[in-house]
Chain A
Amino acid sequence: MAGDQAIARKIELIAVSKEFKPRKSVPATLALDDVSFSVGDGEFVCLLGPSGCGKSTVLNVVAGFERPNTGEVLLDRIPVSRPGPDRGVVFQEAMLFPWLNVFDNITFGPRMHGTRAVDYVPAAERLVQRVGLSGFERHRPYELSGGMKQRAALARAWIGSPKVLLMDEPFAALDAQTRLMMQEQLVQLWEQSKITVMFVTHDVDEAILLADRILVMTSRPGRIKADITVELERPRRYERMISSTQASELKRHVFQLVREETLKTMEVTAP
């Protein structure tokens, strides 16, 4: 509930608009139009919408990679102006550093901050184990599978104990089996830590499996079309979700909302 004061607001977007104008000769596109919402402390929120709806832009604005044209982003009530280690980010591509091995990739943040090895090595070793990369510490990123790369990227973002985790379709490039495993692993990590997660996806199943709340976005310009609380019991298992009527009704409802927006983008682009 947006107005619920019982849960502290971790992330707040207040009337955020963002315009892109790549060149003089093309008209500006309005990616985000007056977007306002908040994410509660420890909440897992999925941003769902058709491609090009600006859901990644929301994430980039919260991460501080992009500045909104108008409006404000608050993290713990402090305005966000640039990227920082208080917001861990995981991208669709792992974006690991190929000149570093897995362990050095994971410990990149603490090493850059001048943390002493005795202070980060035990935590890193635990994290390596938790994300299932034991035995691969000395491997280079290009020697890993797609799923392992993403687990390393997750560990790298996680090690600095960020206040929030921002994930931009992190599992979209993985095969279905790996994706399911990664989703379960992420939920486990989240349940143990109760970190705030903002997760961008275009996959309705993924959103329902993961989220406390789903924010469905409209096609361009991006606005929040619906704010849906997912009241399915946790731990959620994929197998149980398929047979649950509550889940399939929710899925039908959310799917409908997303389809409406996808159709709109088709109409706009049709001659």
Chain B
Amino acid sequence: MSNTRKLLISAVAVGLVILLWFVTGHYQLMSRLLLPPLGEIAATAEELWTDGYVHVPLWQHIAMSLGRALAAFAAAIVSGVPIGLLMGMFPGVNAALDPFVQFLRPLPKLALIPLIIVWFGIGELSKFLLIYLATVLTIIVAAAAAVMNVKQGRIRAAEALGVSKYQLFRYVIFPSALPELFIGVRMAIGIGWTTLIAAEMIASSSGLGWMVINASSYLRTDVVMIGILLLGLTGYALDLALVAVQRVAVPWMGKD
């Protein structure tokens, strides 16, 4: 299927959902408290943009959340990729670290909040750590798996050409692992972004996650909706950015 055709189908699908929302609001099929009409959402959005939410401008909420998340993502990639690669390369390292990784990874990160607060306080560090933890564990597992999944034949082909152990890793195993590594990072960042709300539950006064939680306690469903839309769209944009990097860095992905 051509790209324009796929894009068209996506646009129509999204358009239909928006239309349904509009119709529901226009004919008042649902309570405005449960599903605020589109017009109301737009008005609130404008209000949030000009006056901010609780005196903090909307862009600042977005920037705050994005800043927290991106710092955690960067740290998770920088630390998680090497750890995962080492685990994939050396069974001993894998045996030593795997129990911790596999114990922490499925753990609901919300459960860690009390501990993190006790250990690291209620400042930015705790929020960063929560998002970091949610992201880094998936990256570690993905990087280790990516190394272990490199085709034996490709390794043998390189060995027969007389590469050293280091060259084998640097010029064959690492590039071979890149496609899977990218998938892992995309999944991890998706998971990390969902942890944002949990992170911003820790004594915040700004951020998209905080805005949603705060607005819900005042039954401001319209603000909640806008928060959700912005969270979703930002997450989507993050993934699109990663896909763009992936296209440049791994152009052979899926063709090999």
Contact = CB atoms under 8 A, between A and B. Distances in A.
Interface of A: 63-65, 82-85, 87-89, 91, 93, 95, 97-99, 108-109, 112-113, 140-142, 153, 156-157, 160
Contacts of B255: 98, 140, 142
A97 B159 contact: no
Contacts of B158: 108
B161 interface: yes
B26 interface: no
Given A97-B172, A99-B252, A141-B256, A156 B161 contact: yes
Task: Give the 9 A-B residue pairs with the shortest CB-CB distance, closest first.
Answer: A85-B162, A98-B252, A109-B161, A83-B159, A89-B160, A95-B157, A142-B255, A98-B256, A99-B175
Contacts of B252: 98-99, 140-142
Interface in B169-218: 171-172, 175-176, 178
Interface string B221-256: 000000000000000000000000000001110011
A88 B160 contact: yes
B245 to A, nearest CB: 15
B32 interface: no
B174 to A, nearest CB: 10
Classify the interface of chain A: helix, strand, loop or mixed.
loop
A65 B159 CA distance: 8
| Secondary structure type dominating chain B contacts | helix
A65 B161 CA distance: 12
A113 to B, nearest CB: 6
A144 B161 CA distance: 22
Contact of B163 (A63, A87, A98, A112): A112
Contacts of A153: 157
Counting chain B residues whose Cβ lies within 8 A of the other chain, the interface size class is: 20 to 34
B167 interface: yes
Nearest to B163: A112
A113 B158 CA distance: 12
A57 to B, nearest CB: 13
Interface of B: 151, 153-154, 156-164, 167, 171-172, 175-176, 178, 250-252, 255-256
A89 B162 contact: no
A84 B162 contact: yes
Contacts of A99: 175, 178, 250, 252
Given A84-B162, A85-B161, A98-B252, 20 more contacts: A63-B156, A65-B159, A65-B160, A91-B156, A91-B157, A95-B154, A97-B175, A98-B255, A99-B178, A99-B250, A99-B252, A108-B171, A112-B162, A112-B163, A112-B164, A140-B251, A140-B255, A153-B157, A156-B161, A160-B161
Contacts of B156: 63, 65, 83, 89, 91, 95
Contacts of A93: 153
Contact of A97 (B154, B160, B250): B154
A115 to B, nearest CB: 11
B162 A109 contact: yes
A156 B162 CA distance: 12
Contacts of A108: 158, 161, 171
22 contacts: A65-B160, A83-B156, A83-B162, A84-B162, A85-B162, A89-B160, A91-B153, A95-B153, A97-B154, A97-B176, A98-B252, A98-B256, A108-B158, A108-B171, A141-B252, A141-B256, A142-B252, A142-B256, A153-B157, A156-B161, A157-B160, A157-B161
